[in-house]
């Protein structure tokens, strides 16, 4: 009853946020080059990307179109692997000069002491590194023989500097689902404070690898693990905001599910496309920085992200939970818009 009231209030809050449409979080896909070749990569990134890195000046011209308060915006640099760019520190400093904070998502392979120091000096405020299991399962998913060891060193560096808001993300899959308690022990031993778990989306390179996806039983097991671990308060563990999980809402994260893609989250992708999260179908792009004014696009477009009634098709059409879920995470929709790829709530047994 109390939870239901909270959900109702939260839904009102979501409506206000949706109408307000304030840009708070801007992804920059600065490169699609990557030094790994992960089995699950949603972007199909590789060492020899078909795209050149986006020149910093092109990105800055877009930032300079933003006419709103700057200190409410965080730029999250992503890829590909951002650390393959030699000018990353300069990118960060230019973002800071414009009054915004910046963060980065990395695979940790190139995160050594020298780079850690220069990034911190350049105002890096938050860092997310992927750890996808114990050594064998992590290196399997990352398609690497060295990445687990490198990530371990990167974690030690990141946790040595408390001002850095640092978290670990783990793609839970068939190979690591039974290792979650051991991964927790490992993270605690490395003094990690925050851990986010998510599942793998059937897009990009992942589509052809069924080993990457959790069965319904495994998915429920993961939610139970998160719920139980949260009660122990040893680490701030949560299920990422990737999907609606019905009865597990508030048990596996601090707030109810809310896909903010295109509501508060925007992105500038490698080809200049203006979109929401980088893992959302590229056909949903709303413009391109090479021909449009970024902030005008943010303010005048993005209707399909703010009005999600088009998602009420397929299994969502008659779902009793639709008002709380609104079609799940938008990255679970393809260009055809003919139904959600994954319903997390349906997977719970």
Distance CA(102)–CA(289), nearest Å, equals 20
Pick from 255, 283, 256: nearest CA to 269: 283
Q: Which of 222, 265, 268, 343 binds another protein (CB under 8 A)?
A: 265
| Placement of tokens 């179908």 in the chain | 281
278 binds another protein (CB under 8 A): yes
80 binds another protein (CB under 8 A): no
163 binds another protein (CB under 8 A): yes
Q: Which of 40, 85, 101, 205 binds another protein (CB under 8 A)?
A: 101
Return the residues of window 314-343 that contact another protein according to CB under 8 A. 329, 331
Task: Supply 188's token pair.
Answer: 């605690």
115 binds another protein (CB under 8 A): no
Burial class (CB in 10 A: 0-12, 13-18, 19+), 6: middle
CB of 230 to another protein, least distance (A): 14
- Would you say 51 or 161 has its CB closer to another protein? 161
Contact between 247 and 345 under an 8 Å Cβ cutoff? The reply is no
Residue 320: which region, alpha, beta or left (left: phi > 0; alpha: psi -120 to 50)? alpha
Window 231-250: contact mask with another protein (x via CB under 8 A): ---------xxx-------x
Packing angle of the helix pair 88-97, 56-63 (nearest 10 deg):
20
Distance CA(244)–CA(257), nearest Å, equals 5
55 binds another protein (CB under 8 A): no
Q: How many residues bind another protein (CB under 8 A)?
A: 59
- Would you say 133 or 329 has its CB closer to another protein? 329
Contact between 253 and 239 under an 8 Å Cβ cutoff? The reply is yes
CB of 274 to another protein, least distance (A): 16
Q: Which of 12, 86, 231, 291 binds another protein (CB under 8 A)?
A: 12
56 binds another protein (CB under 8 A): no
Count of beta carbons in the 10 Å neighbourhood of residue 215 = 12
Q: Which of 112, 135, 149, 167 binds another protein (CB under 8 A)?
A: 167
- Would you say 110 or 293 has its CB closer to another protein? 110
Mark the segment that binds another protein (CB under 8 A) among 8-16, 59-67, 137-145, 286-294: 8-16
Contact between 109 and 35 under an 8 Å Cβ cutoff? The reply is yes
17 binds another protein (CB under 8 A): yes
194 binds another protein (CB under 8 A): yes
306 binds another protein (CB under 8 A): no
| Placement of tokens 């393959």 in the chain | 84
Residues 6+ apart with CB under 8 A from 130: 105, 106, 107, 108, 142, 151, 168, 169, 170, 171
- Would you say 20 or 290 has its CB closer to another protein? 20
Edge to edge, the sheet with strand 124-130 lists 236-239, 194-199, 165-172, 124-130, 101-106, 74-78, 25-29, 265-268, 273-275, 287-288
User: Which residues contact another protein by CB under 8 A?
Assistant: 6, 9-10, 12-13, 16-17, 19-20, 24-25, 27, 74, 76, 78, 93, 96, 101, 103-105, 117-118, 120-123, 125-128, 161-163, 165-167, 169, 194, 196, 198, 240-242, 250, 254-256, 258-261, 264-265, 277-279, 329, 331
């Amino acid at each position: 009853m109390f939870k239901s009231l909270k959900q109702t209030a939260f839904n009102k809050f979501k409506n206000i946020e949706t109408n307000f449409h304030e840009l708070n979080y801007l992804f920059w896909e600065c490169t699609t080059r990557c030094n790994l070749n992960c089995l699950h990569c949603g972007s199909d990134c590789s060492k020899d990307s078909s795209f050149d890195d986006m020149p910093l000046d092109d990105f800055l011209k877009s930032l300079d179109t933003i006419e709103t308060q700057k200190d409410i915006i965080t730029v999250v640099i992503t890829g590909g692997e951002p650390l393959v760019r030699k000018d990353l520190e300069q990118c960060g400093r230019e973002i800071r000069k414009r009054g915004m904070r910046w963060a980065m998502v990395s695979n940790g392979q190139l995160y050594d002491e020298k780079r850690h120091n220069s990034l911190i000096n350049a105002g890096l405020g938050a860092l997310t590194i992927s750890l996808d299991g114990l050594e064998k399962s992590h290196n399997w998913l990352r398609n690497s023989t060295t990445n687990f060891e490198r990530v371990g060193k990167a974690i030690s560096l990141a946790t040595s500097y408390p001002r850095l808001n640092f978290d670990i993300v783990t793609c839970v899959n068939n190979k690591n689902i039974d290792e979650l308690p051991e991964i927790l022990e490992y993270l605690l031993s490395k003094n990690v404070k925050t851990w986010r778990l998510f599942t793998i989306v059937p897009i990009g390179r992942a589509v052809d690898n069924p080993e990457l996806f959790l069965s319904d039983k495994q998915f429920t097991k993961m939610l139970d693990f998160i719920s139980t671990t949260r009660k122990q308060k040893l680490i701030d563990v949560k299920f990422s905001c990737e999907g609606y999980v019905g009865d597990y809402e508030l048990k596996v994260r601090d707030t109810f599910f809310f896909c903010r893609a295109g509501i508060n989250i925007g992105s500038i992708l490698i080809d200049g496309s203006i979109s929401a999260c980088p893992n959302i179908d590229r056909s949903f792009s709303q413009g391109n920085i090479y021909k449009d004014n970024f902030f005008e696009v943010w303010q005048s477009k993005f209707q399909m992200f703010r009005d999600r009634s088009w998602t009420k098709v397929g299994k969502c059409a008659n779902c009793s939970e639709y008002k709380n879920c609104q079609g799940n995470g938008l990255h679970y929709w393809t260009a055809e818009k003919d139904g959600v790829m994954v319903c997390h709530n349906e997977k719970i047994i």
